[in-house]
Structure 1
Amino acid sequence: MAFDPVTFAVIVGGGFGTYKVIRKLFEKFKKDPQEIKEPEETQSENPIPKLVDEPSKRGSYYFIGPPKSGKTVFFVVMADIMQRMHIENGDKAPYTATYTTNKSKRFVSDCIRMMQKSEWPTKTQSGNTYEMDIESRKIIAMREARFVFHDYAGEVFMRAFADPAKQEESSTYAEDANKMREEMKNAKGVFLILDSAVLHNGLPEDIQDRLFYLADYMKNANASIKMAVIFSKKDMFNTNPIEPEKIFKDKEPDTFLKFQKLDTKYFFVTSVKNPEIEGGTYVPPKNYKTSQSEGIIDAALWMLDIKDKPLIQELKEIIENKIR
């Protein structure tokens, strides 16, 4: 490599200059160490605020369905049995369940008291709101949720998900119908309650239409929603079992496929496993208890993504999945 006197001069000159600066600082420090101070941080006139974690929003889950499908009884039994399982299992329960308002607690208690007398809760006339707060015990943190039962008349569901082209023809239930659609837009999950006896006999055209428009609405307004399709009144088929999900798929294939685009699961449930018959009508037995239900707690735990497993088992599964 050829010798370049210019390059050599720059290197030597730069090195000598650096040496002089370091030597001067060293000598100054020897004389008075206090004079060497850490450079002060300059305070920005417009400091950038630190990011604050947004408080977790409590996810809301709603209950909807056509008239006489069993929405009120389903909610009442679910709320009561969730709380009783929490009490029975104590700290081992995978969740905590408490009523949001005293009105909610009284509503559930009054309905169950009627069922204990072999009576069904009275038909809904106006939309009251009843709520239960659920906190699932996760490994890392508690996950909050809220069951919200707006006790709308079934006719509100029929109005909310009628043919959009005909929505303006009638003002009946219009305000509540708009509220219901807004709730669906913001909900984390929805329980759609359908009468399995009506399904077995063939859904009326007006209900078929509502399910079609409901599926379309949810696809556009809230495609990430979880939907539990609840086929109620399983007790009516104790002697002649049916498969309602298969019937629904066979008779309503288009709606079934649209529901598949959502996070959907089907449940065949009953609030009263062994009802009595009075005057040709199915009624709860005397001194009814919600433990006499079937399938309802499964729907609740699925909706809330609560796995009723010991903590160690759940942790083991998480670790194994991560290793894979």
Structure 2
Amino acid sequence: MDVPNERSSHERPILRGLGLAVLIAMTVSGVVAVIALSVASAGFGRWDLLLLVVIGAFAAGCLGLAEDLRGLSVGVRSTCLLLIAFVIPVALVLLRQYPLASVDFGFVGGSFLGSGAGEFALEPLPFWVTIALVPYAVLFISSYINVANFMDGLNGISGFHGVIAGCAFAAAGFLSGLTWLVLAGLILAAGFAGFLPWNLSKPGAFLGDVGSYLLGGATAVTSFAALLAGVPVLATIGPMVISFGDVGVTLVKRVRAGHKWDEPHKEHVYQRVQQLGYSHVASSSMTAACTLAASLLGLASFFVAPIWWVALLCGGLLVLAGYLSLPRLLGGRAGAR
């Protein structure tokens, strides 16, 4: 049971840990999708990349489950996060250079010549790019798992985020011809869509750390894998802009105010909106609407020349600025009433 504490926005104990069901559903469907890709007679693409996405999400979810059941020290939890954020990206970089899915094992699709052939038409990465990508991935993935955990503070907010991020990745996969990315996105979206009714109906239930770590891991690993596969960078980060911005700005404000960054609090933008008198669903929906807008701006990069990506990036930052201003804007209106 989740007992209300300093960072809680609920007022009574509520069942937590339902993210375990999402973890099981996403893992099973992910394994089925990997097998389906590997045996597809027409050769639909990179089952090896999808497999790593499934493994990365599963590892993150299991770490969250351990935190829920037993509690982990900061050192152990941080070490495990860094291991996940190092091993999975290194494996993804290696598979980009040497695709396992192009090897004929006899029981899989072999060297694909069908609709997935374009997924192998990637130039090898320069050595310096490979070296730079690994530390970036470690920081990016480990940070976002924590970010997703920090943002899991209202009914609906994580479920909406998972659905939007998953749909955005599926759309990016469709636009870039990457079947594995379409499947990864749909699995993410479906997993958290299935959780929403349990979260939003009475008496309600929470994801717990198992679900928030799963959301962060699945989103970040899918984003990095898509970047390696040639998806425009703005499309890979669009679903994550609002969450990164909320957590980053809130932590900076707290440090500047003399607070410890890791102390429990209720100062995130979405929490401050809810404290103005808006319901959990209303506040979560505002966050989701901004996440959707940033995701659509990212997907727009498929349709314009790279020279216009700066304009799309500025648009995303404007959306973030509007989101960060919500407590002040909505508070002013409440005061006027």
> TM above 0.5, one fold?
no
Greater strand content: 1
| Rg larger in structure | 1
What TM-score does the superposition give when structure 2 sets the normalisation length? 0.30
Higher relative contact order (CA 8 A, sep 6+): 2
Q: TM-score, normalised by structure 1?
A: 0.31
